[in-house]
Amino acid sequence: MASELLQGQIGTSTPPPGWLSEYVFRDGRYYFVFPLGSILTMLPVALLDRLGILSGPSSVLIASLIAGGLSCFGFLLAQAYRFSLGMQVSLVIFLTLGNWIWCNLVFGYADMLTLGWSALGQLGSLYFVLGQKQPLISGLLFALAIGNRTEVIVLTPIFMALWFILETDSKRWLVSLYRFCFFPILILLLTFCHNYFRFNSIFEFGKGLVPGIFEQPHFASGLYSIAAIPDHFTEMLTATWQRINHFPFVAPSGFGGSIFLASPFLVLLFRFRAMNQPVVILSWIAMIVMTFTMWLYGDVGGWQFSYRYAVNLLPWIYILLLYNAPRQINIPVICLLLISLLINIYAVWLFHWTTYL
């Protein structure tokens, strides 16, 4: 769809592949149901492809850019919080290779990649709040997150509160807030216009217009419903791996799984070493708000390793680790990191290099 946008079109007359369901046919054209920001993010890649510079699947380049961006901001934040070099490396390895984002990004699906861009946008935005006070750049990166995953907009009050506690003067806070909000407001206005031109409603993103979507069992109560919460709770927090009667004997189900099984490194979240810090309190609130927002969606994630929607939580998990993790690397940290890394190497191998799943 980014290629069509380069030609000044917001839809295409070419039917999408039969396996791709994220399109709506309307008034003789097919429209992508993802928000405008996800299409704009792909424009540079589409341009490289059109110029013949890009060889191979574009998803490989995109996943690499996301992983590289996460690593960069992860290092910068860890340095700002004065971690030892060993801990900086450990935290970044966890962020990119020691959790469910690695395996899910490698799938290369549009939905997976939008989650990756959202995580990168949030983490970058947090760096330019907590590491360097650059509200305009922070807002630009937050707009990247919102543009790819509109639900991230629920975190706007959290960012406003972060600026409030960091700016001692009310006038400076208002100026910072104005600069921070410029790009998010711009992307929202453009998204509303995009929605209107496609579906004649600024609030219609198109997901509910996909043919047969409400015939699917998980959308029987609507796109968003409290009835979906128990399934999300199970798949995100309590679902275990399956035991099979042949090699490899133990494997993830492919449709969910506890994030704590996917990354035991998360136990460091519960050291609770700085619960009196406003940033820590706001980070926990952000995770709770984002989690319940995700849990209301009818689909629990489909084909995935662990719980892919929790990619949206990784920036806040990382901030909490900056406060709770030890400043110097030690044996428990090394053990947790190695276990998490091995689990995710195993998952990548199972999903992408074998036929067991």
Question: What are the pLDDT digits (tens) for 110-119?
Answer: 899 999 999 9
How far is C-alpha 346 from the chain's CA centre? Answer: 22
Q: CB–CB of 109/305 below 8 Å?
A: no
Q: At what angle do helices 314-324 and 110-126 cross, to 10 degrees?
A: 40
Q: What are phi and psi of 31, to 5 degrees?
A: -120, 135
Q: CB–CB of 356/350 below 8 Å?
A: yes
**Rounded distance between C-alpha atoms, residue 198 and residue 36, angstroms:** 11
The pLDDT, as a whole number, for residue 127 is: 98
The CA-CA-CA angle for residues 177, 73, 70, to 5°, reads 115
The pLDDT, as a whole number, for residue 246 is: 84
**Rounded distance between C-alpha atoms, residue 244 and residue 79, angstroms:** 44
**Rounded distance between C-alpha atoms, residue 347 and residue 357, angstroms:** 10
Radius of gyration of the chain (CA): 21
- Predicted TM-score (pTM) of the model is 0.94
The pLDDT, as a whole number, for residue 98 is: 97
Beta-carbon-side half-sphere exposure of residue 204 (alpha carbons within 13 Å): 12
The pLDDT, as a whole number, for residue 1 is: 64
The pLDDT, as a whole number, for residue 244 is: 86
* Domain ranges within the chain, ordered by starting residue: 2-353
Low-confidence stretches of the chain (pLDDT < 70) are: 1-2, 6-7, 17-20, 55-56
The pLDDT, as a whole number, for residue 2 is: 64
Contacts of 338 (CB under 8 A, 6+ apart): none
Residue type, 194: H
The helix (H) or strand (E) run that includes residue 251 is strand 250-251
How far is C-alpha 94 from the chain's CA centre? Answer: 15
Q: What are phi and psi of 250, to 5 degrees?
A: -130, 130
DSSP string, 2-48: HHHHHTT-SSBSSPPPTT---EEEETTEEEE-S-HHHHHHHHHHHHH
